[in-house]
Amino acid sequence: MTAPSVRGEPVTQLFAIDPRTQAQRVLPVGQASDGALSADGHILYFTRQGLGSDNVRAYRGGAMAQLWRMDLRGNAEAQALLPPGAGNDQRPLPYAGSTGPRVAFLSDRDGQFNLYSVDAGGGGLQQHTRHRGWDIRHAAIDGTRVVYALGADLHLIDLETGQDQRLAITLGGDADAQRARWVARPQTFFESARPAPDGQRVVLSVRGRIATQGTGLLRRAEMPVPADARCREAVYSHDNKHVFALCDIGPAGATPARAAAPVEQEIWRFPADGSGTPLQITRDAGIRRYAIFPSPDGRWLAHTDKAGRLTLTALSASGAGTSREVVVSGPPRPAPQQLVWSHDSQAFAPPPAPRGHGADAGLDERSLQQRPARVHARWALALLPVRAQLRAAEPKPLGRPQSRALFRPPQQGLRPGPAVRQAGVSLPAAR
């Protein structure tokens, strides 16, 4: 047994204990640890010095661990089992080999702690393992078999045959964490719900998963999101056939935990019935994206991010298209939480901010926010000043099919305010 020195010195001491009477005596070796007896009980093998619990690797200082042997039948001094200097040799494990008594031990003489053995006189050195990366830490022997710890795994090796295998450990228990359970308040995991344009189904975002739900024959369809990826802010396409969502699916199926660099959430397209594979729409996001707003004609995706940017992405036949940032003049403003398209997809507008909030502070219920837009073929996003004013007696619905601009009608009973000048963004005319 290894224990602190009986003299109070900052070193370890070996003790011999009778398992029947519990009587113990101090063995006459100093600065010793990891004691082990030969099969006949006459030879004591032990480790002198060493750094103990320190995790320094490839240590080559004056306190290097050494293996020693001592014959307990006489008064002879202990002797070094191996010449010093080759590495840290520790943890002696005596055993009876096919060629006679041998001693297995741990050594970092090749740069990492591996398993070696020598004969009882210190000759016939053999290396039994050649692991790289993790050091072998703990080891125990039974006959010619040694079990040792390598990282988080246990290995079993036969010193005679050289067969080495990692042990498959199964822990028994009730596996409570893997049991199906009812969630008491599922609403706490609910993230968003967006109806389809035809109003027959809804797409749900819950805990990184997305699914469509309806009352028809296809009650629910789950989107094929990888198990270790997450999606959010799912919305339907204009024709109810696809679902767009913000997902952190990495390249070639690699998720952020395994990708070489962190993966920002990009826009992906899924078949609404849950079949097929997802298609990536946007790339190279440098910051968290916020929300997606598909146009009614299916040609555009407007989306926002944490930096307050508003981006338009043109959808092609293959799904992915070109993206350009919509540059709005004036002071920086937060990204709009809502964005409404006109029915002809030629204009879009964020709802006006409440009085005294955001970049549109000063607009009140009597004011009109209007952003007509025409995007040119060369993607030059023109910022056009717009002046508009409505009469309170003639409110109009938002986004009339024949209109080319969006506006918010004033409340009845309020006097119309002054004209409001806003920046507009232009979109291409539909063909």
SS (H, E, C) 47-64: EECCCCCCCCCCCCCCCC
Maximum average pLDDT range among 171-185, 232-246, 299-313, 413-427? 232-246
pLDDT at 1 (0 to 100): 65
Least confident range from 48-57, 178-187, 270-279, 285-294: namely: 48-57
DSSP 178: G
- 251 burial via Cβ count (<10 Å: 0-12, 13-18, 19+): exposed
What distance in Å separates the CA atoms of residue 364 and residue 129, rounded to the nearest whole number?
78
How far apart, in Å, are the Cα atoms of 252 and each of 63, 210, 258, 321, 409?
Answer: 50, 20, 11, 20, 48
How far apart, in Å, are the Cα atoms of 348 and each of 80, 310, 324, 360, 365?
Answer: 86, 11, 15, 16, 19
pLDDT at 271 (0 to 100): 92
User: What would the pLDDT profile of 44-54 be if each residue is shown by its tens digit?
Assistant: 888 888 776 66
User: What would the pLDDT profile of 103-132 be if each residue is shown by its tens digit?
Assistant: 999 999 888 899 999 998 889 999 999 998
pTM comes to 0.47
pLDDT at 53 (0 to 100): 62
On whether the CB atoms of residues 347 and 341 are closer than 8 A, the answer is: yes
pLDDT at 241 (0 to 100): 92
Return the number of other C-beta atoms located less than 10 Å from residue 11's C-beta. Answer: 15
Share of the chain above pLDDT 70, in %: 74
pLDDT at 225 (0 to 100): 92
Q: Look at residues 197, 227, 226 and name the one whose alpha carbon lies nearest to residue 212.
A: 197
Taking only Cα atoms into account, the Rg of the chain, rounded to an integer number of angstroms, comes to 37
What distance in Å separates the CA atoms of residue 361 and residue 353, rounded to the nearest whole number?
7
pLDDT at 416 (0 to 100): 35
pLDDT at 351 (0 to 100): 61
> CA torsion 395→299→280→212, rounded to 10°?
50
What distance in Å separates the CA atoms of residue 94 and residue 103, rounded to the nearest whole number?
4
On whether the CB atoms of residues 50 and 64 are closer than 8 A, the answer is: yes
On whether the CB atoms of residues 345 and 295 are closer than 8 A, the answer is: yes
Q: Look at residues 69, 73, 4, 77 and name the one whose alpha carbon lies nearest to residue 36.
A: 69
pLDDT at 7 (0 to 100): 63
On whether the CB atoms of residues 238 and 291 are closer than 8 A, the answer is: no
What distance in Å separates the CA atoms of residue 59 and residue 51, rounded to the nearest whole number?
9
Q: What does the block give as tokens for 119?
A: 């004969």
**pLDDT class for 142, splitting at 50, 70, 90?**
very high
What distance in Å separates the CA atoms of residue 78 and residue 10, rounded to the nearest whole number?
21
Please check whether the two domains, 2-166 and 186-425, share a CATH topology.
Answer: yes
- Give me the CATH code for the 186-425 domain, please: 2.120.10
Q: What does the block give as tokens for 302?
A: 């407007």
Return mean pLDDT, the chain.
76
Region 328-354: what's the mean pLDDT? 75
User: What would the pLDDT profile of 16-73 be if each residue is shown by its tens digit?
Assistant: 787 888 888 777 787 778 888 888 888 888 888 877 666 777 788 888 888 989 888 8
Of the two residues 194 and 402, the one the predictor is more confident about is 194
- Give the DSSP H or E segment for 425: strand 420-425
Q: What does the block give as tokens for 128?
A: 């039994």
pLDDT above 80 (res 355): no
Residues 6+ away with beta carbon under 8 Å from 174? none
pLDDT above 80 (res 370): no
pLDDT at 87 (0 to 100): 87
CATH of the domain spanning 2-166, picked from 1.10.1060.10, 3.90.1640.30, 2.120.10.60, 2.40.50.140 = 2.120.10.60
Measured over the CA atoms of residue 182, residue 187, residue 192 and residue 198, the dihedral's sign is: positive
- What does the domain layout of the chain look like in residue ranges? 2-166, 186-425
